[in-house]
Structure 1
């Protein structure tokens, strides 16, 4: 693991060796996850592609706040205007998908990555879409995994936000020490039980996530404004955007993935930019890493 400072905040990341491919694959994890979930996929791709994975601010081994007094507004980042910010250089509130995309822009600048494909899981997919809008010259394309939406259903979202807040309130550190607690996480949100190793990692990431970042990213990414902005964002992207969805995903059902995908030009009339993975739930990179890696490789090399 390496550490790099992004806008004053230490971030953990891993970068594999360069290859003959001119593009770097950048992997963005989802809510209450960490960069390690990508390793089954990266291990299958790193011989052909340079791969970057990192922990989002406040998750995994990345800090949530600067170690010293720091003003984000003092940093000059060359970002074009996006649907949320008429002035591209202005910074968004800390935990919006756009703010996390701005973190990513700085990370790529600091690592001298000038050509990348973004692969984002769930919330990470939304962050990838924002980053593609903010960095059109650098980002060659986006692959969203178990990510979609763009339809704001008031009652459903209010229930989701309320349930998420309650979920975050039951996170004592000693929770990870309870015998067999990880067994609960082998089956949550997946079509087939995960290996105990990954269930254990899910418990750890659930417990160590910074409270402010966990709650802030949940609430800031599910507002009516944010959800309704997604289709507009996708429709404006010039880069190719593909969506991988699990046929048994109950968190982000395929119909909602197809809805968001339909706003991109590649959708055409039959969903040409949507790929369904059979017998797969919400954690495709752990449940079906071979299929995910194969689809990524085919898309990037096309």
Structure 2
């Protein structure tokens, strides 16, 4: 594990060796209350052929700092000018919008001299990846969203989700991770089949250590009516290929909502060419079905590379 400072906050990351066979780096972005470690089952299958970068989002995992960043001093990427004002709007008004996290990612890739990347994001990380593609059109060659979709604001459902999330975050004493058998609750949450207890324990740890402000801020700022309604327009304006992997049994982000967002991209072509549904899979595809996820990622990147070279 290494650290790099981004806008005053130390960010933990792991980078595998570069591969001469592929010029791109796969950049893995985790979801809410998760950390970079959840990608390891997939990265272990891909890193023999592709360079892989995983990192902890600001305020999660090991990317934490008590110092607060002044985002008013962040230069907005020139590439943002290509997106209409109605899309950008007030995306940088908060520290915790997906666009603000994408700006962190922009700085990360610049500091690491990564000039050609595929962004792979899980859940909230998928939204961050879409914003990253908009902010870095020259660098980002494509996006793969995993268990991520949406673009439909259902007022009552989102109000319930936000309320439940806030209550969930209020019960996070440090000693929770030491409670006997507490991890058993996390083996079954949001998945089609129980996870190994190792991953359940990791979920408890990440839940407990997440910075309170970041945990609440990302929950609230990523689920506003404005933010949800902005997603389809964002996807429709992306020039890069965008693919979506959906868990057939995902109850958090149901396949129908994944398909809805995917349909705004040119690759959808009326029949969902850019959507891949993984059977017997819930909301944590990279842990539940790492072989399938890795195979799909490799196939997508390879096919796009062949398209570029042909």
Deviation at 1:93, TM superposition (A): 1.3
1:281 alignment counterpart: 282
Corresponding position of 2:48:
47
Question: Which one is further off, 75-84 or 130-139?
Answer: 75-84
- Indicate how the Cα distance of structure 1 residues 152 and 177 shifts in structure 2: closer, same or farther if over 3 A, else same: same
Report the Cα offset of residue 65 of structure 1.
4.7
The answer (yes or no) to whether the contact 1:245–1:257 under 8 Å persists in 2 is: yes
Query: Contact (CA 8 Å) 2:99, 2:132: kept in 1 or not?
Result: yes
Displacement, 1:261?
0.3
1:17 partnered with 2:17: yes
Inter-partner Cα distance in structure 2 for 1:161 and 1:230: 18
Give the equivalent residue in structure 1 for 2:221.
220
Report the CA distance between 1:137 and its aligned residue.
Answer: 0.3
The answer on whether the counterparts of 1:27 and 1:54 sit within 8 Å (CA) in structure 2 is: yes
- Note closer, same or farther for the CA distance 1:85–1:35 as it changes in structure 2 (3 Å cut): farther
* Partner in structure 2 of residue 177 of structure 1: 178
Match of 1:246 in 2: 247
Look up the match of 1:150.
151
Report how far residue 233 of structure 1 moved: 0.2
Q: 2: distance between equivalents of 1:87 and 1:147? A: 20
Please list every run of 5 or more consecutive structure 1 residues that lacks an aligned counterpart in the other structure. none
Counterpart CA distance in 2 for 1:143 and 1:283 is 15
State the TM-score, normalized to the length of structure 2.
0.93
Instruction: Label 1:208 to 1:295 Cα distance change in 2 as closer, same or farther (>3 A).
Output: same
Residue 260 of structure 1 is matched in structure 2 by: 261
State the alpha-carbon separation in 1 of the partners of residues 66 and 102 from structure 2: 16
* CA contact 1:237–1:264 (8 Å) conserved in 2: yes
Distance 1:92 1:105, change over 3 A: farther
Cα distance change of structure 1 residues 275 and 70 upon mapping to structure 2, 3 Å threshold: closer
Task: Report the TM-score, using the length of structure 1 for normalisation.
Answer: 0.96
Rounded to whole Å, the distance in 2 between the matches of 1:48 and 1:300 is: 11
Shift of 1:72: 3.6
TM-aligned CA distance change 1:87 to 1:170, over 3 Å:
closer
Q: Considering only aligned residues, what root-mean-square deviation do their CA atoms show, in Å?
A: 1.6
Structure 2 unaligned regions, length at least 5:
304-310
- CA deviation after TM superposition for structure 1 residue 87, in Å: 8.2
What's the CA shift for 1:75? 4.5
Query: What residue is the counterpart of 2:203 in the other structure?
Result: 202
Native 8 Å contact 2:71 2:95 kept in 1: no
Q: Which has the higher helix share?
A: 2
Contact map agreement 2:87 2:234 (CA 8 A) in 1: no
